[in-house]
Amino acid sequence: MTAPFAACLAALLSCGQAWAAVALATRFIEHTVDGLEPGKSHPLHDLAPSYALRNAGDAAVDVLLSAERPGASPPYEPIPDPSWVRFAPGKLRIAPGETASSEIAIDLPDDPSIFGRRFEVVLLARTAGTGAVSAGVRSRLRFSVRPGPKALPRSAEALHCALEPDDLVLKAAKSGRSFGIRRREKARWRVVNRGAQPLRLAARAVPWPAEGPRLPAGYEPARGLGRVRFDPKRLHIGAGEAKDLEMSFAAPAGSRGSRTAFLVLMETSGGQAACSEGRVFVEFE
């Protein structure tokens, strides 16, 4: 997710009789990346906007880049180790009014325990060597790790079909009322056929698997999934094509204050899972 340049923590630095404004700005406010694989390095230059910083002040500054653990924000967990995030370079020299960028990579450990989990990290850029006052800007990076190989059965076609994004997080849903995901940000699934053959698929909501990726703290498996509806009911997607899938869900009575989760599968007429599954997280107000 990008936004217009946002400047944070602007200050005035006194230097003799001169006054110099010290301020940083960035468009990289918040972004989410899905489906990363343990044991691999994931450069973000093809997956996310450039991590670019603009010197909004009137003096050249050195900017240090670092990653920090955030507070809890379910269904995302604070990143276990900020050193998973790597900057190249980790220090920028930016002239007044100019912009400089750093490449970000996420280096995941080869650890089966992180399969299917979602993490969040804070990216911090701050000026150095500006005396008692400085400027800084914080950004949020969220990412999910792909499910483990035993999470759900797969057909060979699963390598060529995907639901995007991996996760839909719906906050402040109305208990006991119907809501259409089409009315919300990131409201649609995008079903992408990357294979060489056309696919005929139908969507189905299923309970969270007992032996699959663990649910985030505070979430329970959804009940009443017969209330989930998809539009269209069936999709015919040509090779290399992508189509939208919309969903509505009537929340069960008594859901107020709860958090629930379920999965969405795209299946062939023979009932085989043909895509990576989608994950839905709902918070009822």
From first to last of the 285 residues of the chain, give the pLDDT tens digit: 334 444 444 444 333 334 457 888 998 988 888 878 889 999 987 767 789 999 988 889 999 999 999 987 777 889 999 999 999 999 999 999 999 999 999 999 988 888 878 899 999 999 987 665 678 899 999 998 877 655 444 444 445 788 888 788 777 555 544 444 433 334 578 888 887 788 888 888 888 877 666 777 788 888 777 778 888 988 898 888 889 988 887 766 666 778 888 888 888 776 677 777 788 888 877
Least Cα distance to 140 among 117, 126, 124, 164 occurs for 124
6-145 with 156-284: one CATH topology? yes
Fold of the 6-145 domain: Immunoglobulin-like (2.60.40)
CB atoms within 10 A of CB 120: 21
Check: CB of residue 281 under 8 Å from CB of residue 261. Answer: yes
Domain boundaries, the chain: 6-145, 156-284
Q: From residue 24, give the alpha-carbon distance in Å to each of 10, 29, 260.
A: 7, 13, 39
pTM above 0.75, yes or no: no
167-173 and 278-284 beta bridge pairing: parallel
- CATH pick for 156-284 out of 2.40.160.10, 3.40.50.1980, 2.60.40.10, 1.10.460.10: 2.60.40.10
Neighbours of 60 (CB within 10 A): 12
Instruction: Please check whether residue 66 is in contact with residue 136, taking contact to mean a CB–CB distance below 8 angstroms.
Output: no
